[in-house]
Amino acid sequence: MATMNEGSEHQSEASSMGTGGGSEHGQQGNRRPRRKKRGNKKEDVKAVNDSGGAKSGKKKSGRSKSPKAGGHATKQRPAVEMSVIVNSVYLWDVSKEHTDEYVQQQQTYHQRHHMHPNHQQVAPYHFAPDMSCGSTSTPSDETPQSVVTIRAPHSPKTCQQHVVDDGGFSVIDTSFPNPHPPSVVHDKYWCQRRRLFSRFDMGVQLDSEGWFSVTPEIIADHVAKRVGELADSAAFQRGLPGSDIGENEGIVVLDAFCGCGGNAIAFGKIPRDKISLVVCVDIDRSKLRKAAYNASLYDIPNDKLVFIECNTMFVLMQCYKNGELVVDKLGVDVANMPASVETEDYAGYRIGGLESLPTRIDAVFMDPPWGGVDYSRQNSYDLEKNMKILIGPSEPVAKEQVGGLTDDFFDTFSSKPSRPKKGLYNKAKEGEYANGMDLVKMAALATKSHLVIYDLPRNTTKTSLGKSALAAGYRGNIKLEEHYLNGRLKTVTAYLGADYTSLLKDGEQ
């Protein structure tokens, strides 16, 4: 573009000078500009530097993309409103025979390829619900919103070991043949059953969908530990005036898409003074029963988990506002209310409907449906474009089988078709849908702390995550945690609602 602009400027200059030469100069006047063309360019540049663009302001304005009033051509960079801080965590559920060597390799790699960023450029976290996605307090001549990705410096503290010891059995077991048809449980899932649940042999219950959608136990435990640590953060101000949480009282976590209970059980393991109650929501009663039974195998206290049969979208949009239960105060149209469900005690836990909801929730954990068979084949996953969740009342999930399986949790992405993660939630139907960006805003407004923990596809774009956070009211920074299991990336989890600038100084604590 510079060559074209320069050529057009010189051509215009030569034409004007040739025309203005008059009859006295004749041909000589027409040739003079071509001989002086290159020399005049340097003189013009010098004149611009000396006079601030007064002599050849036309040229200078052509080169400047955003000239300021008074002829100043200084361009200001747009203010950064959201920094996605990426932090890698290394987990192990196998023997530590080769982990030390791997950790050393990772340290060397990060030192070479991920230099320490300038943390002073990352704004501190704050929440601004009154600022919509299209509004900002920055000057109008700057870009209203900006999303950047910064990788936290690598730290050996992020490398953790968790060797599953279940009667001397390994997490990988091929000695016992798969008793299920391959169309129900693929062999690759069956041989890793103890990776999903270390107490699987005690009678863990899973449906066909749960086999490929449940979070591996070591990763679920790690995320729950992170949430327990956040309970002591300034977001909750436990025991302080104006707080709804006592000094020695734990927070209430809403597990928005419970499934067969992998994450709910992990939250239930956290001490009661960190997490006091887990509200497990799913539209499928059979899944809730399986989750309750599995929780009993891990000896989770009966009063620490409550199971709610309801559409999660209704719970987030209609039942809670600013952490308070408001479904009775909003005057929801009876026609839009979910049908009443039976309350029962199953495996020692209560399963019911909206009447079983607690009076408050403090944080929301979401592992939503990701959109069917295509999500893992895409080079990138956009939360606004690729995720679709039915808002209105829907029928229970049908038990249908989808062919073309690949291990989307335990293998890297491939071009082959894969079985959908909770894909039947997203089966095309008539009705109103929410996308992944909408889901963040719903969860943020449902809690007083705005603490949202969001499990996402590994190929989720950082830009779409940052834009989703901005649209919900988050400002400053959020954290995206990458979970490497035995050296391979398995899952990613976003943490919204706290400040993570300390990661850029010291790494994960």
Helices (H), 270-349: 285-297, 312-314
- Looking at the predicted structure, is the pLDDT value of residue 46 above 50? no
Question: Would you mind telling me the total number of residues written for the chain in this entry?
Answer: 509
**Chain Cα centroid distance, residue 369:** 13
Report yes or no: 45 and 102 within 8 Å, Cβ to Cβ. Answer: no
What pLDDT does residue 388 have?
Answer: 84
- Between 192 and 119, whose confidence is greater? 192
Distance in angstroms (rounded) separating the CA atoms of residues 228 and 272: 10
235-239, 261-265, 353-357: range with lowest mean pLDDT: 235-239
Place 172 in a pLDDT band, splitting at 50, 70 and 90: confident
Helices (H), 118-216: 187-190, 193-196, 210-213
- Looking at the predicted structure, is the pLDDT value of residue 308 above 90? yes
Helices (H), 52-142: 57-63, 99-113
- Looking at the predicted structure, is the pLDDT value of residue 2 above 90? no
Distance in angstroms (rounded) separating the CA atoms of residues 365 and 443: 9
474 forms beta bridges with: 127
- Between 212 and 234, whose confidence is greater? 212
What pLDDT does residue 210 have?
Answer: 86
DSSP state, residue 296:
H
Which residues contact residue 39 at a Cβ distance below 8 angstroms, ignoring those fewer than 6 apart? none
Report yes or no: 203 and 290 within 8 Å, Cβ to Cβ. Answer: no
- Between 9 and 316, whose confidence is greater? 316
11-25, 231-245, 354-368: range with lowest mean pLDDT: 11-25
332 CB-contact burial (10 Å; exposed 0-12 / middle 13-18 / buried 19+):
middle
Phi, psi of 484 (to 5 degrees): -100, 120
Cα–Cα nearest to 118, from 77, 83, 74: 83
High-pLDDT (> 90) share of the chain, %: 40
Q: List the Cα angle 288/333/277 in 5-degree steps.
A: 35
